[in-house]
Amino acid sequence: MLKCTINGKEVEVNEGTSIIEAFKSLDEDIAHYCWHPGLSVAGVCRLCMVEIEGNPRLQIACNTLVTDGMVISNQSEMVKDAVKWGLDFHLINHPLDCPICDQAGECGLQDQYMKFGQYDSEMGQQKVKKKKVVDLGDKIVLDSERCILCSRCVRFTEEVSKTNELGIFNRGDHSEIGTYAGKPLNNDYAVNTVDICPVGALTSKDFRFRQRVWFLKDKPSVCTGCSTGCSVDVYFNQEGLWRVKPRYSEVNGYWMCDEGRKIYKSTNVMNTEFVGVRGEKKAVKVQNRLTQAIHRKDNEVDYFLTSKALENLREDLKSVDKAALVLTGQYTNEEYEALLSYWKSQFKGENVFHWTNHEENWNDFDGLLIRGDKNPNTKGLQSSLEKHGISVEKDFSKLTQLTHVFVAGPENQWVYDDINTKVDIFAKAQKVIWFSAGLVPVSEDLIGNFLFIPTKTFAEKSGTFVNFEGKEQSFEMVESFVSQALSLTEIVSVLQGDSLTWHKPEQVERVHNEFVHERGTM
């Protein structure tokens, strides 16, 4: 261990710790753009200047290792002056188009300006003009004028995704980020470059111009995209979720895959889709969620309140003694526990089926984060089944011999590409009780007796997932978006005769347009 003093505070750090890491461990303020804990040191933004006792020259904190007894400060006038001018140099050719910039509100430059700047520009000359809209690929757009050339995105494609699409082209103040010929930035982790971009240079096509970030709140959660279970932050307002970003944890480091970022779509009642060819694209709102209970018998459709539908079902089930249960690995431990206990007492724990996405691919792993098992809680389901001594059936043809079939369907329906065939199989049962967050794709002419009960998505409930390596990860409810949706636990309690306790008022309190400041990307 090494002892050093940072801004008058003594701290002990491990050998090999850089000064900037020591600052971070103390939660001391230090400005920086190019340094990122998940990437190599570039040392180019020159903002993390510190004064080290006995050294006449300022040093950059990111490339200087702490030595024993070092006395470091970034409070001196010399450092403040260097940081102020560092910011000036960043800003002289920056377009300062914050009002139309998507990064406004979470921009490193804005944060620094509020801290150190708040004066008029000293640049009286023409700024360098660069390209404002550069299409880097299917997911990302670059604004070269806003770019401060911190090289985080370049280093990400070199070191993390190892796909090397990006480079810095040209020289001096004409330098620009770009992709190599024939190599668009379309790798599976590309949107991480948007997250780590400290300014509004890289923006995600999926999110840009959709929301002002200061009107969004964020809460921590766990990704439901696959069995890795990355820690994420979800950004939301009263309309729904708008984006998902990775949050540092031992599971996923600083990153997440682009596919995982889609999970917010399964929560929203309405999703916007863009249809048509380029130039004539139109935004169309498409309903995504099941908002109330639906009874659909052949062509007749009836709508119910969830509580009413469940009470009817309870009466109905009194005469049923044999039924099947189809489970997917997309629910929480708590829900499995409630459902399987109920199943054990009501139906002796028999006829339980496990519906999976391509099981033959479950061991697939891309070496970074993406796994073939696209369910967040397969492990949790398996241990719950084991605990109750329930063995699962895989042969779905046995289903049709049973009168009632309960389906705890997938929340992220896009990973279950056999959903249409499964609907056809289930339709042959006397009655299908389908718990689903999203609308289930049932064709209009299908003959069958379906009762759809709306369930909550990961964002609307609290619970626990167990990831591929058996790590239990609990998450909290973010916000309720469909008032009629229930968790499986709540559904079971109604089926067992309890009355439904709705959320307490404080839990469904709406998000106010509260200004979220200094979210930053530092």
Partner 1 sequence: MEVKLLSEHYGDDNFKTLEGYKVKGGYEVLPKALKMKPEEIIAEVKASGLRGRGGAGFPTGVKWGFLPNNGETRYLLCNADEGEPCTFKDRMMMEKAPHQLIEGMIISAFAINSPKSYIYIRGEYTYAAKVVEKAIKEAYDAGYLGKNILGSGFDHDMDIYRGAGAYICGEETGMISSLEGKKGQPKLKPPFPAVQGYLKKPTIVNNVETLAAVKYIIRDGADSYKKHGTEKSAGTKLFSVAGDVNKPGNYEVPLGYPLLDLINNECGGIKEGRALKAAIPGGTSAPIITAEEIEKATLDYECLAEMGTMLGSGSIVVMDDTRCMVDMMKVISHFYHHESCGQCTPCREGTGWLHKLVSSVIDGTASVSDIDLLCEVANKMKGRTICALSDAAALPVLGIVPKFREEFEFFIKEGYSKVKGRANA
CB distance 485 to 343 below 8 Å? no
52 binds partner 1 (CB under 8 A): no
Of 106, 103, 96, nearest to 517 (Cα)?
A: 106
For the CB of residue 122, give the shortest distance to partner 1 in the complex, in Å: 6
CB distance 238 to 167 below 8 Å? no
- In eight-state DSSP terms, residue 86 is H
Shorter beta-carbon distance to partner 1: residue 154 or 325: 154
Phi, psi dihedrals of residue 495, rounded to the nearest 5°: -65, -25
Shorter beta-carbon distance to partner 1: residue 59 or 383: 59
Between residue 5 and residue 44, which ones bind partner 1 under the rule CB under 8 A? 41-44
Can you say how many angstroms the Cα of residue 331 is from the centroid of all Cα atoms in its chain?
A: 17
Grouping H, G, I as helix, E, B as strand and the rest as coil, residue 10 is strand
Among 163, 164, 175, 312, binds partner 1 (CB under 8 A): 175
109 binds partner 1 (CB under 8 A): no
For the CB of residue 123, give the shortest distance to partner 1 in the complex, in Å: 7
117 binds partner 1 (CB under 8 A): no
340 binds partner 1 (CB under 8 A): no
For the CB of residue 151, give the shortest distance to partner 1 in the complex, in Å: 8
2 binds partner 1 (CB under 8 A): no
Shorter beta-carbon distance to partner 1: residue 43 or 253: 43
Residues 6+ apart with CB under 8 A from 36: 152, 155, 196, 254
Grouping H, G, I as helix, E, B as strand and the rest as coil, residue 315 is helix
499 binds partner 1 (CB under 8 A): no
Cross-strand bridge partners of residue 448: none
Among 3, 55, 80, 123, binds partner 1 (CB under 8 A): 123
Q: Is 382 exposed, middle or buried (0-12, 13-18, 19+ CB in 10 A)?
A: middle
Long-range Cβ contacts of 72-78 (<8 Å, 24+ apart): 72/4, 72/5, 72/6, 72/7, 72/19, 72/22, 73/6, 73/7, 73/8, 74/7, 74/23, 74/28, 74/29, 74/30, 74/48, 74/49, 74/50, 75/7, 76/51, 78/51
46 binds partner 1 (CB under 8 A): yes
Shorter beta-carbon distance to partner 1: residue 59 or 462: 59
425 binds partner 1 (CB under 8 A): no
89 binds partner 1 (CB under 8 A): yes
Q: Judged by CB under 8 A, which stretch of 1-9, 88-96, 211-219, 362-370 contacts partner 1?
A: 88-96
478 binds partner 1 (CB under 8 A): no
Shorter beta-carbon distance to partner 1: residue 154 or 408: 154
Among 99, 120, 171, 250, binds partner 1 (CB under 8 A): 171
For the CB of residue 67, give the shortest distance to partner 1 in the complex, in Å: 12
113 binds partner 1 (CB under 8 A): no
| Distances from the Cα of 460 to the Cα of 135, 332, 378, 410, 513, angstroms | 35, 12, 20, 15, 20
Binding site for partner 1 (CB under 8 A): 41-47, 49, 57-58, 63, 81-82, 85-86, 88-90, 92-93, 122-126, 128, 148-149, 167-168, 170-175
